[in-house]
Amino acid sequence: MRAALRLLVAAVVAAAIASASAQSKAVSEETVHEVAVQLRCVVCQNLSVADSPSEMAGQMRAIIRERLAAGESPDAVQRYFVQRYGEWILLSPPRRGFNLLVWLLPLVAVAAGLAIVAILIARWTRRARGAAEPVVVDAAMSERIRREVERGS
Amino acid sequence: MRRLWRWLIPLAVLPVLVLLAYGFRMSPRDIPSPLLDKPAPTFALTTLEGAPLMLAAHRGKVVVLNFWASWCYPGCYEEAPILEKNWRAYRERGVVVLGVAIQDKREAAEKFVRDFGLTFPNAQDLTGTVSVDFGVYGVPETFFLDRQGRIRVKHVSAVTDVVFRETVERLLAETGAR
Amino acid sequence: MTADVGFGMTVVALVLAVYGGVAAALGARTGRSALVESAQHAALGIFTLVTACFALLTYAFLTFDFSIRYVASNTNLGTPFYYRITGVWGALEGSIILWSWMLALYTLILIVRHREGARELYPWALATMLGILAFFLLVMTVAASPFQRQLPVPADGRGLNPLLEDTGMITHPVALYLGFTGFTVPFAFAMAALAAGRVGDTWLVLTRRWTIVAWYFLSLGLLIGGWWSYHVLGWGGYWAWDPVENAAFMPWLTGTAFLHSVMIQERRRILKLWNIVLVILTFGLTLFGTFLTRSGVIASVHAFTQGSIGALFLGFLALVMLTALGLVAWRWDALRSQGNLDSVVSRESAFLLNNVLLVAAAFTVFFGTVFPLLSEALRGVKVSVGAPFFNQVNVPLFLSLIFLMGVGPLIAWRRASLENLKRNFLWPVVLGVVAAAIAFALGVRSALAALTFATTVFVAATITVDIVRATRARLRVGERLFPAVGGLLRRHNRRYGGFVVHLGILIIALGVTGSHAWSVQTETTLRRGETAELAGYRLRFDGLSAAEESNHFKVVGAFTVTNSRALGVLRPAKKFYPQEQAPIAYVDYRLGLKEDLYLVLGDFARDGSQATIKVQVNRLVSWIWIGGVVLTLGALLAILPERRASA
């Protein structure tokens, strides 16, 4: 029983190691893409390094591939480029300091818009309800109306 | 007083217009280099003639590192004669001009060197590693390194005579470590 | 000679526009119809002159008249015949003349359609159109004349930008500009309403069809732009959130909001102020778009040029926005509406929500586009705001909008009862949940993709429920099936046109989601005979070949494609144009309903022994184009003249 258990554990561990090492080759192209898609291609303006068909982008992708294969983490590769080109090379401004403005202001705008609409709807439905106050008909009035209607028909 | 609040609506566009007007004063292609005042990355290339070209070998001299390409017209075509002229003028004074061709075919690069009669060392950066290391995003770009191997000036677009001489003179005048 | 005649005609047109604008405004103010008629004649004159200028320029292109700088910059002796015609609007000066021509055309149509029907508003609207025309003619005369001389006359021209050598070139700018300029007319009528003090529904009802047509052409222009980007630019995508793409997208967003909120004003007489502000915003954003493209203030793949033209556009934008919004402030009291809603849960509320989301999205795109400018102005630090940002922030907004698309049309005006909600939404909600479950069962793990899929099914179900129920009512009265459906669509063509358009948007959303969530790609270097594999496709590199075309040199890579069967050969290429600094990638692809196989040729060895390729398998992209066709059908249905059925 214990031997079987040990065998099972060994098998699982072996499989994990095997899949991990098989992954590290296969993941590479995808990881390259993931890193490249965050970086701005410096020659074509507004395309990512992953997307750009330019020669410079191809060379940058090769550099990314090399560095990842050498064991650098995707973050470290990104930092390498930022150290040389500045924040500008990131296609999405880092969520720090002044840049928080561009990330938060849209949320604020949506919230403000929803708030305004909510207030307006509340005000407008209240006004409608106020205007549509049901007319209070008292008993004497209904009696008179009934008699008039009978006389008329 | 309440009547005046409504005029906020047209006034609200003014900040946007001012921002856009400000945009005229800036060039979207002018990106400041974060490498200024930092030690220049080393590299080891081979010149078009086959000799080794190592940045480290020129420590102690003022280095003018120029990135170019044969298809970069008109910028590289304008500055090539200027670089050559100043190379000849300053080479005895402890200044070295190095050229790195990026994204070019070998024959085109060799033809460029021949056409302009460039005598300073020129190498090809075949993989783009050197240009990325220096944060190059277009050609021509020129880096001026001081005697301690630090990048002091990055000049984007064609180097003029005035820029070359003023910068080099300034760097030559510096004594010792900063 | 040609240049002088052309330039002369431009100047005369400019004078006429200024005269006409002033005359129409004076005529509106004083009520003297003779002045207005004179302005009409001026408009006719302008149209004739601008058409003649266009014809002259085209003639210059066709006859290789390199004495004109514009011709020399955009063609050379090798440019094929059809590109010599489409090249007329291929760069800055030509784009201005195209814009002016469309404005002149729209002015004429406005005159013919509205001179009888809208006594109070028409003269002011005419004055506004002529004033805007005058600006564009001024730009054509002073800053960007297509008739500038080039001396000495070069022996050969530079050539058309190779990226423009494509059928997209014929249609994309034309559709886009028809959309942009189309929004000028509702804007002109809004200005007329403000000037004349008639801020009720009249101006809205008059411009209803204009709005739909302009909106449609803008949508078409955006879609064709996406298609062009996809199959020409060589990066395998159709939308990059490039500042100039954003510049066209923003007026589309506010234009869509406008299209919906006018329906509330028509029914409930509220939102007068909001609608006028919306149309001013939309028109202002179209001007902002042309400013961005031509000023070089924000870097973009599209940017035409820099120079004084940017300052001109900024000045005009300032003039238009300050004047228009100033008029709004002036007429503030008349614009305040007695808001009146019966219930929170009603179609009005859904439309208000729709507006909030669309305008919020427009704001997001706007702020993201100008943020680099702001950052540099205030901090001196350059940052980039690109696709990752826009995708992240906008996707929740768009998803909510899609959900609203299902809820809005079926919820009752005024007050939605629980009964109404149950009747209309029970089945669609159930189907939506089922769809999400199916997606999950099929292996979809991205929550966003599953959510989009579920919402799409939900909306499609609401449309189906509505049509089925309405048809069944007709069938019960004795009509046969096809006449019942046909009659239904025709009688309520605005409603069902809207439904079909919604369906089109849904299909596009499906395509967009599919391509983002499930596309795969890889990049690899192959030696001759080697094979690359991706998503079940095998590509074998067979070798390179070179060819000399009339105006460029081409290197073509041959790749044999197989999956379970032979699929033929793909030939991506690199084109080398003498006037371009870098080679242009020419992609090859296999389109399909489920997926596209997309191949870009990268670096290659001179002797053809090896080549680097980027392979993409893009899923569901074709549905974006299909959605565009459905959108077209919906828009056509919606603008049919109303059938005042007597029976």
Task: Pick the more confident residue, B4 or B44.
Answer: B44
Say if residue C128's pLDDT is above 80.
yes
Q: How far apart are CA C466 and CA A10, in angstroms?
A: 61
ipTM: 0.84
Residue C311 pLDDT level (bands cut at 50, 70, 90): confident
CB contact (8 A) between residue C299 and residue A127: no
Say if residue C167's pLDDT is above 70.
yes
> Please, is C601 exposed, middle or buried when counting C-beta atoms within 10 Å of its C-beta (0-12, 13-18, 19+)?
buried
Compute the nearest-CA separation of C96 from chain B (Å).
21
Same domain as C362, residue C286: yes
CB contact (8 A) between residue C317 and residue B17: yes
Phi/psi at A107 (5° precision): -60, -45
Closest residue in chain C to residue B106, using alpha carbons only = C606
In this prediction, residues C607-635 reach a mean pLDDT of 91
Closest residue in chain A to residue B35, using alpha carbons only = A84
Neighbors of chain B with 3 or more C-beta pairs under 8 Å: A, C
- Closest by Cα among C76, C179, C183, C90 to C128: C183
Say if residue A25's pLDDT is above 50.
no
* pTM given for the model: 0.88
Tell me whether residue C402 is in a domain: no
Task: Pick the more confident residue, C166 or C432.
Answer: C432
- Residues with Cβ within 8 Å of C296's Cβ and at least 6 positions away in sequence, in order, are B28, C303, C305, C306, C310
Percent of chain B clearing pLDDT 90 (strictly above): 40
At A152, list the tokens: 């008329």
CB contact (8 A) between residue B132 and residue A59: yes
Whole-number CA gyration radius for chain B:
21
At C378, list the tokens: 């205030």
In this prediction, residues C169-197 reach a mean pLDDT of 92
Task: Pick the more confident residue, B72 or B24.
Answer: B72
Residue C81 pLDDT level (bands cut at 50, 70, 90): confident
Q: Taking CB atoms and an 8 Å cutoff, what residues of chain A touch C357?
A: 110, 113
By three-state DSSP, how is residue B154 classified?
strand
Number of Cβ within 10 Å of residue C399's Cβ equals: 17
In this prediction, residues C281-296 reach a mean pLDDT of 87
Q: How far apart are CA A128 and CA C338, in angstroms?
A: 10
Q: What is the pLDDT of residues B119-135, one digit of tens each?
A: 999 999 988 899 999 99
Closest residue in chain C to residue B73, using alpha carbons only = C581
- Residues with Cβ within 8 Å of C9's Cβ and at least 6 positions away in sequence, in order, are C49, C50, C52, C53, C56
Residue A135 pLDDT level (bands cut at 50, 70, 90): low
Say if residue A129's pLDDT is above 70.
no
Tell me whether residue C645 is in a domain: no
Domain count, chain C: 4
The pLDDT of residue C298? 66
Of the candidates A42, A82, A86, which has its C-beta nearest B32's C-beta?
A86
Across the A:C interface, residue pairs with CB atoms under 8 Å apart total: 142
In this prediction, residues C547-576 reach a mean pLDDT of 87
Tell me whether residue C400 is in a domain: no
Mean pLDDT of chain C: 87
The pLDDT of residue A138? 67
> Looking at this protein, which amino acid is placed at residue C106?
Y
Same domain as C281, residue C370: yes
Cα dihedral A73, A76, A78, A84, rounded to 10, equals: -150
> Please, is C272 exposed, middle or buried when counting C-beta atoms within 10 Å of its C-beta (0-12, 13-18, 19+)?
buried
Tell me whether residue C412 is in a domain: no
Domains assigned to chain B? 34-173 (3.40.30.10)
Same domain as C355, residue C250: yes
Domains assigned to chain A? 1-92 (1.10.8.640), 95-153 (no CATH)
Compute the nearest-CA separation of A87 from chain C (Å).
6
CB contact (8 A) between residue C359 and residue A45: no
Residue A22 pLDDT level (bands cut at 50, 70, 90): very low
Tell me whether residue C405 is in a domain: no
At C25, list the tokens: 């405004």
The pLDDT of residue A8? 56
Q: What is the pLDDT of residues C456-477, one digit of tens each?
A: 888 888 888 888 888 888 888 8
Q: Taking CB atoms and an 8 Å cutoff, what residues of chain A touch C378?
A: 98
Q: Are strands B95-102 and B62-68 parallel, antiparallel or unpaired?
A: parallel
Highest mean pLDDT among B16-30, C68-82, C105-119, C485-499: C105-119
Q: Taking CB atoms and an 8 Å cutoff, what residues of chain A touch B15?
A: none
CB B63 within 8 A of CB B55: yes
Mean pLDDT of chain A: 78
Of the candidates B35, B128, B138, which has its C-beta nearest A60's C-beta?
B128
Tell me whether residue C505 is in a domain: yes
CB contact (8 A) between residue A59 and residue B35: no
Say if residue A19's pLDDT is above 60.
no
Same domain as C84, residue C178: no
Number of Cβ within 10 Å of residue C29's Cβ equals: 14
For residue C149, the 8-state DSSP code is B
Q: Taking CB atoms and an 8 Å cutoff, what residues of chain B touch C377?
A: 19, 22-23, 26
Place of tokens 């002369």: C8
CB contact (8 A) between residue B22 and residue C377: yes
Q: Taking CB atoms and an 8 Å cutoff, what residues of chain C touch B103?
A: 582
* Range in B89-98, C125-134, C185-194, C437-446 with the lowest mean pLDDT: C437-446
Say if residue A3's pLDDT is above 80.
no
Of the candidates A32, A55, A91, which has its C-beta nearest C387's C-beta?
A91
CB C148 within 8 A of CB C68: yes
CB contact (8 A) between residue B132 and residue A83: no
Same domain as C573, residue C433: no
Chain A touched by C357 (CB under 8 Å) = yes
Q: Taking CB atoms and an 8 Å cutoff, what residues of chain B touch A44?
A: none
CB B94 within 8 A of CB B116: no
The pLDDT of residue C19? 95
Mean pLDDT of chain B: 87
Probe site for chain A from C383, C515, C598, C610 (most A CB atoms < 10 A)? C383
Q: What is the pLDDT of residues B135-156, one digit of tens each?
A: 998 888 999 999 888 999 999 8
Same domain as C458, residue C322: no
Closest residue in chain C to residue B29, using alpha carbons only = C299
Say if residue A84's pLDDT is above 70.
yes
Number of Cβ within 10 Å of residue A99's Cβ equals: 21
Say if residue A14's pLDDT is above 60.
no
Q: Are strands B95-102 and B122-125 parallel, antiparallel or unpaired?
A: parallel
Q: What is the DSSP secondary-structure string of C248-305? A: HHHHHHHHHHHHHHHHHHHHH---HHHHHHHHHHHHHHHHHHHHHHHH-SS--TT---
List, as ranges, residues 484-543 from C with C-beta within 8 Å of A.
521-524
* Range in C252-256, C407-411, C491-495, C538-542 with the lowest mean pLDDT: C407-411
Say if residue C565's pLDDT is above 80.
yes
Say if residue A26's pLDDT is above 50.
no
Q: How far apart are CA C459 and CA C124, in angstroms?
A: 42
Closest residue in chain A to residue C337, using alpha carbons only = A124
Chain A touched by B32 (CB under 8 Å) = yes
Residue B82 pLDDT level (bands cut at 50, 70, 90): very high
Same domain as C328, residue C447: no
> In terms of residue numbers, what domain contains C29?
1-165
Same domain as C181, residue C103: no
The pLDDT of residue A137? 60
Chain A touched by C105 (CB under 8 Å) = no
Of the candidates C298, C310, C321, which has its C-beta nearest B28's C-beta?
C298
Phi/psi at B151 (5° precision): -75, 120
The pLDDT of residue A7? 58
Q: How far apart are CA B30 and CA B155, in angstroms?
A: 10
Q: Taking CB atoms and an 8 Å cutoff, what residues of chain B touch A85?
A: 31, 34, 135, 137
Same domain as C559, residue C444: no
Say if residue A93's pLDDT is above 80.
yes
Q: What is the pLDDT of residues C93-122, one digit of tens each?
A: 888 999 999 999 999 999 999 988 788 899
Residue B30 pLDDT level (bands cut at 50, 70, 90): low
Neighbors of chain A with 3 or more C-beta pairs under 8 Å: B, C
Residues counted in chain C: 647
CB C103 within 8 A of CB C129: yes
Same domain as C212, residue C105: no
In this prediction, residues C631-639 reach a mean pLDDT of 91
Residue C348 pLDDT level (bands cut at 50, 70, 90): confident
Same domain as C238, residue C358: yes
At C176, list the tokens: 């886009």
Q: Taking CB atoms and an 8 Å cutoff, what residues of chain B touch A59?
A: 103, 127-129, 131-132
Closest residue in chain B to residue C297, using alpha carbons only = B23
Q: What is the pLDDT of residues C402-453, one digit of tens each?
A: 888 888 877 767 667 777 777 778 888 889 889 888 888 877 777 778 888 8
- Closest by Cα among C502, C489, C437 to C463: C502
The pLDDT of residue A21? 44
The pLDDT of residue C358? 95
At CA B119, angle to CA B114 and CA B123, rounded to 5?
A: 80
- Residues with Cβ within 8 Å of C67's Cβ and at least 6 positions away in sequence, in order, are C2, C3, C149, C150, C151, C153
Q: How far apart are CA C238 and CA C225, in angstroms?
A: 8
CB contact (8 A) between residue B9 and residue C299: no
- Residues with Cβ within 8 Å of C566's Cβ and at least 6 positions away in sequence, in order, are C560
Tell me whether residue C643 is in a domain: no
Tell me whether residue C647 is in a domain: no
In this prediction, residues C244-257 reach a mean pLDDT of 94
Task: Pick the more confident residue, C307 or B138.
Answer: B138
Residue C281 pLDDT level (bands cut at 50, 70, 90): very high
The pLDDT of residue B1? 63
Say if residue A49's pLDDT is above 70.
yes
Number of Cβ within 10 Å of residue A131's Cβ equals: 9
The pLDDT of residue C447? 79
Same domain as C348, residue C238: yes
Domain boundary among C114, C133, C165: C165
Closest residue in chain A to residue C301, using alpha carbons only = A45
Q: Taking CB atoms and an 8 Å cutoff, what residues of chain A touch B139?
A: none
**Alpha carbon C526 to chain centroid, angstroms:** 40
